[in-house]
Amino acid sequence: MSADPSTRPLKREGRAPVAAVGRFGAKGFGTLWLAWSDAGLVEVSFTPFEWLETVGVPTAAVPREYAEPLKAYFGGDAVELHGLPRDARGTAFQHQVWEALCSIPRGSVRSYAGVASDIGNPRAMRAVGLANGRNPLPVVVPCHRVVAASHQLGGYTGGLDRKRALLELEGVRIEGDVVRPGQLTLFEG
């Protein structure tokens, strides 16, 4: 019996062919692992890729076209990373959600319901959450900017401490696990 496809982890066999893998020292955040193809970034992670040992992909220095914007971002500069070349694989729905995430401006947050509304499917909040969690390019596709309607941080594959730190780096003020009331209105796309 096969598992429900909406609950399976991101299928690795669906990943674009990876040309190389490199590590980037993200100031204040530790090591960021990047995998790229000739067309763009395939995957980004704050932990080593599970598949790396079995695939035999060469390691290399992170190309300047990725390293310079990442250095600026983690240095606190107001840069958006979603313009970097991307070669992430996913379903049509996942890509629709990921593109909607890229429209959330730096320093803003959006609720899962808001993203669902943005893509024209206001009842798809849970599906948006699943697509958000399967984003293979965290930070580049800013899934950390999605919070619960109550302004609670919610989940993040990199952990809540990292989500909080990313949002604070972008100027969002947070108290505990809640976006500070009155400081920020949920971005309405």
Catalytic residues: 143
DSSP track, 88-135 = ----HHHHHHHHHHHTSPTT--EEHHHHHHHTT-TT-HHHHHHHHHT-
Write the CB contacts of 185 (distance below 8 Å, at least 6 apart in sequence).
none
How far apart are the C-alpha atoms of 139 and 44, rounded to whole Å? Answer: 8
CB-neighbour burial class of residue 10 (10 A; exposed 0-12, middle 13-18, buried 19+): middle
Contact 39, 87 (CB under 8 A): yes
Question: Helices 92-102 and 125-133 meet at what angle, rounded to 10?
Answer: 80
Distance of alpha carbon 43 from alpha carbon 164, whole angstroms: 21
What sections of 31-111 are H helices per DSSP? 52-55, 64-74, 92-102
